[in-house]
Structures are given as C-alpha cells and as structure tokens.
C-alpha cells in the first residue's frame, strides 16, 4: 500500500486539488482513503459536501488522533465516489498541536493505525506549515509529493520540507521518497523549474487550467479525457 503525503510549506500551491484528483485516479485501481490533516478542511468539503456537519464533527481525524474513537470508526464513505473513503477534518483540528504537544507518541500511534488499513493507496492532504499535523502525515508516508509552482521562494520552501522529511527518516529508520511535482505551471515554467535542479521531479506535471480550478471549487470530478484528467492519470500511474 502506498501512503502519499501531499505537502508544501507554500499556501495555495495545489496540495488539496492534487490530493483530491490523485485519490480519484488511484480509485480506478481499487479502494482509496483520502485523509484530511488540514483544519481548513477543503478536501473534506469536496468529498463530503452534503454530509451533516455534526456527523463529521463526531467522527473525524481529531477523535482518531486524540484516541477518543478508533481510527476505522472515523472513516466516511465519500459521496458520489464509490471507491473513495474519507478521514475528514473539521476546524477543531486547529487545536490538536496544542492539545497533544506533550504526547509525541500520538503521532506514532496514528501512523501505525493508518498503515494497518487495507487500501490500494492513502492520500494525505496537509497544511502549509511545519506542524504537528504535517508530522503525522510524514511519519505515516512512504512517498512525499510536493506540488511546486514557479515562484520566488519555491526552492527555499522545498529545502525546508526536505529537511523535515530527512529528520523523520532519521527518527523512524524508514525514509520516504520525496518528489517535487510541477503544479499550476505552464509549459515554459515547468521547463524552468526542472532546469533549476533543486529536487527530484515527477515525470508528470499538472498545468494551470481553468477546468481543474472549476472542478475543484465546485466539487465535480475532472472530465475524462480532458488535459487535466490525463495529467492526473499519468501522475497516478507513476506513483502506484
Ligand atoms: N492546476 C490548477 N490550475 C488552476 N487552478 C488551480 C490548479 N490547482 C489548484 N488550483 C486552484 O488554486 C487554488 C489553490 O489550490 P489548492 O487549494 O489546491 O492549494 P493548497 O496548496 O491546498 O492551498 P492551502 O495551502 O491553502 O491549503 C484553488 O482555488 C484551486 O482551485
Ligand atoms: Mg489545501
């Protein structure tokens, strides 16, 4: 089973949209779990758009992390996506770093229970910060996928994520593969990013596209055969 954290310290780089559509393309191969570790719970809203908020608040990743509910009891079936299950987040997740600051074992317990689940792939969306939530994701993963756009601080942000990934590898004795994914770029920007050679890049790239933005913002899947769909399919093939 592949456990893939989608991570970047830069806000708006495309973590959530990549997590959402990668989960959908992986689901062509079998059951997939989409995990939301961001209290700005856009992935949760995409897959559980009409699910009652009280139902999500009573069984979310917050309860799984604090140990008040079994992780498997916090997993919901995604609406309209047969093969996708969701471990959702709510705004309350913003408290988790404060509440569990004295219980670092919580991260290891979470990672262990996640890796025991039976899915073809687990995709984890993360917040744009070095945080308790990001640690939970990195300790659980065998692949760290970082969407990188063409911007002034891309190299510095990626270096911080690499340092964090290496620190987790030292602590666990298991190193995850770290890949940069050119995202929200055009063809010329993709070429410049790759030429800068600051990372191991995926062969696949996700170009800036109004169709991806519209699908992401409106809760719809990408149209089969569209450019965005083809790019995510290539990424899914490369990672699985
Ligand atoms: N390939 C793309 N082309 C055009 N727009 C995109 C693309 N990918 C994402 N977007 C849009 O860019 C915005 C930011 O994307 P997204 O929410 O995925 O980033 P993020 O890294 O998760 O942000 P945050 O750091 O706030 O969690 C969203 O409005 C999304 O619809
Ligand atoms: Mg996001």
Closest Cα to residue 1, out of 170, 143, 164?
143
If you take atom 28 of ligand 1, which residue's CA is the nearest one? 213
Q: Which residues make Cβ contacts (< 8 Å) with residue 53, sequence separation at least 6?
A: 90
Structural domains of the chain, ranges and CATH numbers in brackets = 2-239 (3.40.50.300)
DSSP 107-153: HHHHHHHHHTS--SEEEEE--SSSSHHHHHHHHH-SEEEEEE-S-TT
In order along its 240 residues, the chain shows pLDDT tens digits of: 999 999 999 999 999 999 999 999 999 999 999 999 999 999 999 999 999 999 999 999 999 999 999 999 999 999 999 999 999 999 999 999 999 988 979 999 999 999 999 999 999 999 999 999 999 999 999 999 999 999 999 999 999 999 999 999 999 999 999 999 999 999 999 999 999 999 999 999 999 999 999 999 999 999 999 999 999 999 999 999
Segment 212-226, tens digit of pLDDT:
999 999 999 999 999
Amino acid 46: pLDDT: 97
Amino acid 167: pLDDT: 97
Amino acid 116: pLDDT: 96
116 C-alpha to center of ligand 1: Å? Answer: 30
17 C-alpha to center of ligand 2: Å? Answer: 7
Closest ligand, as measured to the CA of 231: 1
Closest ligand, as measured to the CA of 11: 1
Cα separation, 232 vs 135, in Å, equals: 26
Q: Atom of ligand 1 at shortest distance to CA of 17?
A: 18
Cα separation, 67 vs 86, in Å, equals: 18
- 15: Cβ below 6 Å to ligand 1? yes
Segment 143-178, tens digit of pLDDT:
999 999 999 999 999 999 999 999 999 999 999 999
């Amino acid at each position: 089973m592949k456990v893939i954290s989608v991570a970047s310290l830069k806000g708006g780089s495309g973590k959530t949209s990549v997590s959402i559509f990668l989960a959908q393309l992986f689901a062509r191969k079998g059951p997939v779990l989409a995990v939301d570790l961001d209290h700005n719970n856009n992935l949760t809203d995409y897959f559980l758009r009409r699910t009652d908020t009280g139902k999500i608040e009573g069984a979310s990743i917050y309860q799984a992390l604090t140990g008040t509910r079994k992780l498997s009891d916090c997993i919901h079936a995604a609406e309209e996506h047969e093969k996708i299950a969701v471990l959702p987040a709510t705004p309350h997740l913003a408290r988790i770093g404060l509440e569990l600051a004295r219980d670092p074992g919580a991260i290891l317990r979470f990672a262990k229970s996640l890796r025991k689940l039976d899915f073809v792939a687990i995709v984890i969306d993360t917040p744009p910060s070095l945080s308790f939530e990001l640690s939970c994701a990195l300790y659980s993963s065998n692949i760290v996928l970082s969407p990188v756009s063409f911007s002034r601080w891309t190299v510095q942000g990626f270096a911080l994520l690499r340092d964090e990934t290496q620190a987790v590898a030292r602590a666990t004795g298991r190193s995850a593969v770290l890949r940069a994914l050119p995202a929200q770029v055009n063809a010329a920007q993709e070429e410049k990013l790759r030429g800068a050679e600051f990372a191991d890049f995926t062969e696949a790239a996700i170009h800036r596209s109004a169709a991806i933005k519209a699908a992401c913002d409106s809760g719809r899947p990408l149209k089969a055969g569209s450019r965005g769909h083809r790019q995510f399919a290539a990424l899914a093939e490369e990672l699985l």
